[in-house]
Structure 1
Amino acid sequence: MSREGTGSSNSRGRGADPTLRRGWTTGACATAALKTALLALWSGTRPDSVGLRLPRGETPVFTIEDLVVGDDWAEAAIIKDAGDDPDVTHGALVRCRVAPGGQGIRFVAGPGVGTVTRPGLPLPVGAAAINPVPRQMMEEVLRDMAALHGRDLDAEITVSVRDGEALAAQTWNPRLGILGGLSILGTTGVVRPFSCSAWIASIHRGVDVARAGGSAMWRGDGATSERVVQELYDLPDHAMLDMGDFAGGLLKYLSAHPVEHVTIAGGIGKLTKLGQGAGDLHSGRSQVDFATLADVFGRPEIAEMQTALAVLDHLGPVFGDHVAGAALAEARRRLPAGQGVDVVVIDRAGQIVGRA
């Protein structure tokens, strides 16, 4: 999955900075490319650009990068502009081909677009990884254009992304069982710079896939914690979920979609903040309360420390166990009764320094 709607590993900020330029999702690009192909096929026009109305009323104009027309088919391509968001698919060439399709509308995964191979996603196993809202957007364009030109709705719509399989390796797609390329994403058509909603949506999909696969445990943040927890519990890849900074988002979703057991693992700094009640663990939005730690341990010098690792070095294992216990208590407070949960605290060297 890419960052825009189901999360890549590149952006974790909250909200949209109004000084940053927004961009457009792969779903919006594919829809604009489809509209261009239909214009060329049914009206004979070859536009240099095409406008599109998005689900929330935005009306962007897309520049056409390529357009090819055959006897009964056409395809157009658009370069995705993610604005100022560090989206893994920024600059990707999104291509859409439309051709006669027998009966009804059929979506096909072209080169660089993945196929769903595992249950739990909002698409059935075997389907092209073109998410529901992009499908709806393309169907609406097809219906409008067909009505305008007196055509039927029998169409095969193939979406492809140049180098999509290589780009997908930088996303969660392989772990979620989307193989062969990227997902075509977007619920609004708009990429808002540094939006945390995409990351949280990825957490939701990861939980869904793991639940559907019968897995019962997930990890917290970072590659180090993933390796430690995966080895500790012998977990499959699809049971490993990166919550990033959004512990609150993970716990909220699990409270409504409980599992047999969840393991929350991460660095001592983030889990100290979780234990102190923070749901957003980003360094810009929550801080370790060293004064409270000084009171808890009766050690005034802790109030002047700058990092949780410094406290760990100062106090030793007792602090790691305290952090694990406090994080466990906070997780239990946010989860329903009976939800199995444990906490693993890890230092930068990948050593377990606390468990509860």
Structure 2
Amino acid sequence: MTASLRCSGISKSLGGRPVLDNLSLSVNAGEVVSLLGASGSGKTTLLRVISGLTDPDQGQITLDGRTVWSPNAAVPSERRGIGMVFQDYALWPHMSVEKNLGFGLESQRLSQRDVAERLNHALEVTRLAAYRGRYPVELSGGQQQRVAIARCLAARPALMLFDEPLSNLDAALREDMRVEMMDLVRSEGITVVYVTHDQAEAMAVSDRIAVMRAGVIAQFDTPQAIYEKPANAFVAGFIGGFSLVRGTVHQGMFKLADVETEPLQATGARPGVGDLVIRPEDARPATSHPATRLQGTVVSQAFQGRCWRLVIELGKQRVRLDWPDAVPTGTTLGFSIPADRCVILTE
């Protein structure tokens, strides 16, 4: 069984400092939603509030319409039907894989047959059947991660919470485990809330992403919508390595601050002070789009495999561009941005 999640007006302060500020979040049944933000944005606190490990100061939390927390009632964590995978896996070192999986089932008053069926299924789908008698110290990091996931699956949760589950793995294993893990939870149809500070990871695993900042959600949308149409300068600066160029919009034209250059066409942008969002991959030769042409000085370059990543100085501002060829430092380079890729965020 899978469940929808609703968090309404959640606030939480720690040590007198607001960590969550009247935050609301809705997750559909079977959906994978990531909470993405820097350290201190409130994402892990929200996860702990949902799980029941921490009580909020105010608000309401429901699972499939059943209230699990409100100012007048609180369902204990162990009775919410929620599974949680921690950053450090939280495995019992003195127990075998099978014992780790079965430990949480003992309190559910299941028959031995039901326990065996759940354990066998969880071990099979996580490809751990051959390791059921081993201890955590005898497993690799990726295998320990699968044990933590299998333990949750064995409990048949309606909702699974992941708290930066891949951060302890090396880069190559992290990507493999990410694909493997999400294939698994999607095949089981489980609702997932996934905490990460890694933008690429959030983009890869999510149906929708909640970008968090200082205890509030700055934008909640699909990965593509957030990438293509960031809601504000904070989201644009946090997602995808975009560059933000300061300037003003007046009469449909964008004029860069501190740069003597021709204004850019800014059709549809609101008048006022704002930022031009430049995605590195959108850079084109200057002649390709004359209406959105810019010129600056190359201050550094680095080979990226498929292209060269250039850092261009535009007056006092710098932008990152992906370019097909190396360009010597100190070169004046003209480039343009396709008009349909020009996003200008005005205040």
TM-score by length of 2: 0.28
Question: If each structure's helix is expressed as a fraction of its own residues, which one has the higher value?
Answer: 1
TM-score by length of 1: 0.28
